[in-house]
Amino acid sequence: MHAVRAIAAVSLVALGVSAALPQAFAAERPTVDLTKMTPPDFSKVGDDAFGKLVKYGHALFTDTANQIGPNAADPAKRYSGNQLTCQNCHMQGGAQAYAVPMVGIWGEFPQYRPREGEVGTLEERVNGCMQRSMNGRVLPLDSREMKAFLAYAKWLSAGIPVEAKLVGASLLPIKDPARAVDLKHGAQVYAQNCASCHGVDGQGVRAENGKSYQFPPLWGPDSYNDGAGMTRVLTLASFAKYNMPAGVTFQSPALSDEDAYDVGGYVNSQVRPHKADLDKDFPIRLQKPVDTGYGPYADGFGIEQHKFGPFGPIRAKVKELREQSNGH
Ligand code: HEC
Ligand code: HEC
- Domain layout of the chain by residue ranges: 29-167, 173-275+287-306
Q: Which residues contact 227 (CB under 8 A, 6 or more apart)?
A: 131, 132, 275, 278, 281, 294
Of 258, 256, 87, 267, nearest to 194 by C-alpha is 267
Determine the atom of ligand 1 nearest the C-alpha atom of 101.
Answer: 26
Q: List, for residues 75-125, the tens digit of each pLDDT value.
A: 999 999 999 999 999 999 999 999 999 999 999 999 999 999 999 999 999
CA distance 42 to 58: 9
Number of the ligand closest to the Cα of 240: 2
Q: Which CATH number fits domain 29-167: 1.10.760.10, 3.30.450.40, 3.30.420.40, 1.10.3470.10?
A: 1.10.760.10
> CATH fold of 173-275+287-306, please?
Cytochrome Bc1 Complex; Chain D, domain 2 (1.10.760)
Q: Whose CA is nearest to atom 29 of ligand 1?
A: 126
CA distance 203 to 246: 16
Any ligand 1 atom below 6 A from CB of 235: yes
How far does the centroid of ligand 1 lie from the alpha carbon of residue 249, in Å?
Answer: 18
User: pLDDT tens for residues 37-83?
Assistant: 998 999 999 999 999 999 999 999 999 999 999 999 999 999 999 99
Query: Does the beta carbon of 89 sit less than 6 angstroms from any atom of ligand 2?
Result: yes
CA–centroid distance, residue 247 to ligand 2 (Å): 9
For 142, other C-beta atoms within 10 Å of its C-beta total 8
Q: Under a CB-based contact definition with an 8 Å cutoff, are residues 308 and 265 in contact?
A: yes
Helix (H, G, I), strand (E, B) or coil at 306: helix
Does position 328 have pLDDT exceeding 70, yes or no? no
Same fold for the domain at 29-167 and the one at 173-275+287-306? yes
Backbone angles phi, psi at 215, to 5 degrees: -120, 115
Ligand nearest to the CA of 191: 2
Using a 6 Å cutoff on CB, does residue 94 contact ligand 2? no
